[in-house]
Amino acid sequence: MFRSNRSVFNQPDARPWLGWLVCVAIATGCGGQEQAASPVAHKQQATAPAVAPQPADVAAAACPEVADAPDPLPGVQPHHNQLEYWLGLAEELGDLDQPLMTGEQIANHNQAMLPGPKLREGVLREVGQAARYDLLGPVHGRGLKLQLNRRLEFLQLKFEKGSYLNGDGSRVEGKQLEAFRTVEEVPPLHPELRIALAPIPIHCSPRVDGYYTKSLDKDFDRNRCATAQPQEVVQVLASWTSDMVLARTSYALGWIHVDAPLSPPVSRVSAEHFLTGPHLRAGVDLEIRTAAGHSLPMPFGTLLPEIPGSRQQVWVATLEGVTTGSPTEATAAASSRRPMTRRAFLTDAFAYLGQPYGWGGHAGGRDCSRFLMDLFAGFGLQLPRHSSHQAVAGPRVIDVPEDASRQQRLRLLDEAERAGVALLHFPGHIMLYLGRDEAGVPMALHSFAEYIEPCEGRAAGAPAGKRETLVKVGAVKVSNLELGKGSSRKSFLQRLTRIAVFGPEPSQI
């Protein structure tokens, strides 16, 4: 389904799709050195002074289980957070204003993200779902039933093993499991195209309450598959329970509350404007002044369909339906019709710096894959929602062998950077590669929740959690790829498995 040119450095490995699961930006920590042993005795065999045992509370303070990340992150200098610094380095790769992908290439890419007939009908069971949903096409009940039942079966297994728990730590069992039964038939489908008027949680199952891993961390609700953002198309498919309806966006399938803030049904033509653009992207939190004189707030990153032939006039959905409007600050919105150049792409990317992280859109944040999906959408290029899908969505995909040395990994990164915009993936996370700094250290911009930092004295090969600290980040940050070195999770660089490259055809480089 994807147009991939594999690197000749290695052989591609066949990996199953990860389906509906939302990526989590669980990263690993900043490296540290093991403390060397002290010399023991001198030639008179005098014994070294006895060292009093360290109190447990002192040891714990020296190696806390959880800590907040420093700002900037370890190994990050102030200039690493400056757009101008990276633009200066990128000039060495060529013209910053040369388009990396043509409009035709982007259109072909977007078409490749949609499912083919066999996949829609659910025939290719082992392949899984498509990267994006075609909300303007017919809804196929057979494929829909297959996707839903595979998800419900997955959840049943998680509950049976006790891997997912209720928010109070109790098991999901008894009558609670009725919501997760597989279906013989999908309820009658009555598809309606509507527009989200505010953030709408898309639940992975037909219940509102969350479920969590054993840590019971409320920031990671496993029932939060995604969040429909304001002015995105939501296709309501069917009533499910008294308070939940089955729905999907172009990138996620799940359940939303029956009272979710949606516009009235819109026409197929109107929905097409919102889905395919071209769009204006809000570069800051701004306001749209409607034709009726009303002022509508739009958060940073919102995409609004441009009216053809107008000057920054857009379509905007309200409780009454679709109307026209324009930004009150003309310079605060950029068109997706812009060429996707290195300069424009990096400029947009750094506008997200410091934006909050949020699993599945929790608390208004963006997780690793949502950050990249929104970033590319500003240039009209549609990415899948999940990191595992994004890792194979580029026109070119480079596989990183597990046994690749540091130098081999750096060569692959250099190769990818020369070829275009590079996304770096390891299971559960994806990042935007910035390149190597002036000291040759590889660095990335990404939205992530945390990393693991080894404490002084951690022995090589020690089990997870032994003398290491979980460091909370919770934002879009610049980091180097050495974070995690010496921890149980290893460094970002050591964990890389794939690189997706978005750029010109190899013959054009």
pLDDT tens-digit map of 146-191: 999 999 999 999 999 999 999 999 999 999 999 999 999 999 999 9
pLDDT in tens, 395-413: 999 999 999 999 999 999 9
Quick one: pLDDT at residue 106? 96
pLDDT in tens, 358-390: 999 999 999 999 999 999 999 999 999 999 999
CA distance 207 to 57: 43
Confidence of residue 239 (pLDDT cuts 50, 70, 90): very high
**Domain 61-104+339-504 sits in which CATH superfamily?**
endopeptidase domain like (from Nostoc punctiforme) (3.90.1720.10)
CATH architecture for the domain at 278-335: Roll (2.30)
Show the tokens assigned to 301.
Answer: 């990153």
Structural domain boundaries in the chain: 61-104+339-504, 133-269, 278-335
> Rounded mean pLDDT of 485-501?
97
pLDDT in tens, 99-109: 999 999 999 99
Is the separation of the CB atoms in 17 and 129 below 8 Å?
yes
pLDDT in tens, 187-232: 999 999 999 999 999 999 999 999 999 999 999 999 999 999 999 9
Show the tokens assigned to 203.
Answer: 């639940």
What distance separates the 2 farthest-apart alpha carbons in the chain?
Answer: 94
Confidence of residue 506 (pLDDT cuts 50, 70, 90): low
> Rounded mean pLDDT of 289-316?
94
CA distance 260 to 198: 9
Overall size of the chain counted in residues: 509
Show the tokens assigned to 313.
Answer: 């006039």
Is the separation of the CB atoms in 443 and 477 below 8 Å?
no
Is the separation of the CB atoms in 423 and 500 below 8 Å?
yes
Partner residues linked to 43 by β-bridges: none
Is the separation of the CB atoms in 43 and 380 below 8 Å?
no
Confidence of residue 130 (pLDDT cuts 50, 70, 90): low
CA distance 225 to 435: 31
Average pLDDT, the chain: 87
Sequence letter at residue 508? Q
Give percent of the chain with pLDDT exceeding 90: 79
Q: Could you write out the DSSP letters of every residue in 421-463? A: EEEEEETTEEEEEEEE-TTS-EEEEEEEEEEEEEPTTPPTTPP
Quick one: pLDDT at residue 508? 54
* Number of Cα atoms under 13 Å in the Cβ half of residue 385: 24
